[in-house]
Structure 1
Amino acid sequence: MDWIMLITKLPRARTTAVKVALWRKLKRLGVYTLQDSVYVLPRSDRTLELLEWVAAELREGGGEASVWEVMARTETQEREMREFFLEQANAQYRKILEDARKGLDLERLQQLWSQFHKVKTQDYLKSPLAMEVRAACERRAQEISEAREMQKRRDS
């Protein structure tokens, strides 16, 4: 598998603000931290563009950044990174599944859908749990719809 690697060097001045902004962006992307200032995402046109944007913003802030296309040198490194990305997505999907299986209302279901779509943006390796979460949310939406219909009939 190919990977995109971002290597950063923060500017000496204003380091705290730049560091916090960089950290937030990388956290939102769900990067794998290979070591200090070295971050990895699975390679796709989208992830390449995302890390290019982060690099450009860091450079504009006075820092240094370079983006590389790389391959893991060992199966162990490859497996470790793949497991990181799958587990990162799966942990969030499991939480959504747990909540979706509870008797929740429409507002909470909408929040779960929103969470689901956010997790999907970080699900770089396309976890099979995504389909299970989608199905559970759709089932719950159907149940809510049917309950509303029954209530309307009773009220009529």
Structure 2
Amino acid sequence: MATLTWLLLTYKVPPEPASKRIALWRKLKGMGAVYLQNGVCLLPKTDDHVRRLKMLENDIAEMSGEAVLLETIALDRAQEDKVTARFNADRDEAYREFIDKCDDFEKEIAKETAAEHFTYAELEENDVDLKKLQGWLEKIRKLDFYGGALAEEATQRLKGCEALLDTYAQRVFDAHDENR
């Protein structure tokens, strides 16, 4: 098995303005970084991550902060497993939240169907919600570096939502005599 290589970023930034510190944290979490402790995070080594972390290193300097960016590997397999487990835990949390939103989507369609509320406005609203779900899952997948346990379930749930909306759309079209 190939040794996994990570980028380790350590940084220290002034506490104020808090908005800059929070924006930095959001950027790192948005890249999929896991924090080992405050101001110390890891990302898998990719050309994209190197480039983006170098830019963040510059941002940190502009904030009058300090940053060190290193390439690192785990000391042994057990340490490597700990790190990948942290990445997977973060992704699984995101997948769980996504699956909860799929539940909400399914309940909304069921509510509208039970009420026989087959309108184009409702269809459009639900279509927008589905597109949000599709985009959200794609973002989670991009950050799923090591194959989170809930990835397949999330994919299947999205397919279910897509099929549900197709069925609802057919009911809307039927209600408006679109297919006759």
**Short-chain TM bin:** 0.7 to 0.9
Segment of structure 1 superposing worse, 140-149 or 76-85: 140-149
Amino acid at match of 1:41: L
Contact 1:2 1:71 in 2 (8 A): yes
Contact 1:11 1:64 in 2 (8 A): no
Equivalence for 1:103: 107
TM-fit CA distance, 1:118? 2.8
Residue of structure 2 aligned with 1:137, choices 158, 170, 175: 158
In structure 2, C-alpha distance between the alignment counterparts of 1:47 and 1:78, rounded to whole Å? 19
Pair 71,139 (structure 1): closer, same or farther in 2 beyond 3 Å:
same
Matched, 1:28 2:30: yes
Amino acid at match of 1:42: P
Amino acid at match of 1:148: A
Contact 1:9 1:63 in 2 (8 A): yes
Residue of structure 2 aligned with 1:3, choices 3, 6, 24: 6
TM-fit CA distance, 1:4? 0.7
Residue of structure 1 aligned with 2:170, choices 136, 149, 154: 149
Amino acid at match of 1:133: A
Residue of structure 1 aligned with 2:70, choices 65, 68, 71: 68
In structure 2, C-alpha distance between the alignment counterparts of 1:60 and 1:118, rounded to whole Å? 29
* Superposed CA RMSD: 2.5
Percentage of identical aligned residues: 24
Give the match's secondary structure for 2:78. helix
Unaligned runs of 5+ in 1: none
Amino acid at match of 1:31: A
Count of aligned pairs: 155
Pair 149,130 (structure 1): closer, same or farther in 2 beyond 3 Å:
same
In structure 1, C-alpha distance between the alignment counterparts of 2:100 and 2:41, rounded to whole Å? 31
Residue of structure 1 aligned with 2:59, choices 29, 48, 57: 57
Q: Deviations over 1:36-81 (max 9, x none)?
A: 4321112222222222221121122222222211101133321111
In structure 2, C-alpha distance between the alignment counterparts of 1:16 and 1:155, rounded to whole Å? 53
TM-score, normalised to structure 2, is 0.71
Equivalence for 2:121: none
Computing the radius of gyration from Cα coordinates, the structure with the larger value is: 2
Contact 1:9 1:65 in 2 (8 A): yes
TM-score, normalised to structure 1, is 0.80
Contact 1:55 1:65 in 2 (8 A): yes
